[in-house]
Amino acid sequence: MQSEALLDLIKRRRSVRRYDSRPVENEKILLLLEAIRLAPSSCNIQPWRVVVVDDGEMIRRLSYCAPIGTRVNRWMETAPLVFVLCADPHAVLHRAAGWVGSDCHDLDIGIAGEHLCLMATALGLGSCWIGWFSQRDVRKLLAVPRNIEIKALVSVGYPAAGIELDKPSGSENHRRSVNELAWRGRFQGAALAVSQESAGEQ
Ligand SMILES: Cc1cc2nc3c(=O)[nH]c(=O)nc-3n(C[C@H](O)[C@H](O)[C@H](O)COP(=O)(O)O)c2cc1C
């Protein structure tokens, strides 16, 4: 039953790029931050540092923090909230993880960010990851110190009229099937025995 509820939540999450002007209640913002706080991280270092931007003018200015001439995320202006997900990568253990070939703080931020998006869905809020931004411009706008890396922005807010979060988004129709992305035993080894339905085959 729990797994069904989780799968339902995962299916309802989608990228929302049009928001209602209604502000997000403070209790919900705190729950979103709690979902970030409880994420796992390499060696439990918890490298997440988050700036919650809720000022309309600042969000408008954030939407201009794009690589030159490419303001593709101008829709961001409609969001009442933007979470700026940063990492403090300077913990010694993280450097050690880097030496063995895994950039753990990137993974940590990714996990925490998806906790945020799933909690947003559970709260009836839309969200969207934003990776297309100018790190330099965001740093300047929000006074982020040099030693902190800005990894992603995530917009959050009530979806605009017409965007329903209470039913599956249909995203499974746009995903690879399980047999195209996973194998048993070795890379591109034997196909796993999965049902037609869960393999995503039509
Ligand atoms: C790391 C990351 C960066 C992304 N950057 C952007 C972005 O800059 N602008 C945007 O509109 N969507 C962005 N997206 C959203 C993806 O386009 C979206 O997740 C994907 O198309 C699947 O659609 P869905 O989220 O509705 O399931 C990003 C997603 C991720 C995970």
What is the DSSP-derived secondary structure letter of residue 188? T
CA distances from 131 to 89, 125, 142, 145, 188 (A): 18, 20, 17, 19, 30
Look at residue 68 and give its three-state secondary structure.
coil
Element (H, E) at 150: strand 149-157
Please give the Cα distance from 49 to 68 (Å, whole number): 26
pLDDT at 100 over 80: no
Give pLDDT tens digits for 119-151.
999 999 999 999 999 999 999 999 999 999 999
Q: How large is the average pLDDT for residues 165-190?
A: 91
d(CA 34, CA 45): 16
Rounded to the nearest angstrom, the distance between the alpha carbon of 92 and the centre of ligand 1 is 31
* Residue-range domains of the chain with CATH: 2-165 (3.40.109.10), 170-202 (no CATH)
Say how many Å lie between the CA of residue 187 and the centre of ligand 1. 27
- Spatial CA neighbour of 148 closest among 69, 47, 78, 24: 47
Mean of all residue pLDDT scores within the chain: 90
Separation of CA 128 and ligand 1 centre (Å): 6
Q: How far is CA 113 from CA 34, 36, 155, 162, in A?
A: 12, 7, 11, 25
Instruction: Output the six-digit token pair for 109.
Output: 């931020």
Taking CA atoms only, the protein residue closest to ligand 1 atom 30 is: 129
Distance CA 16, CA 127 (A): 5
Mean pLDDT of 79-83: 98
Please name which of 154, 163, 168 lies closest in space to residue 32, comparing C-alpha atoms. Answer: 154
3-state DSSP assignment of residue 49: strand
The verdict on the CB of residue 152 being under 6 Å from ligand 1 is: yes
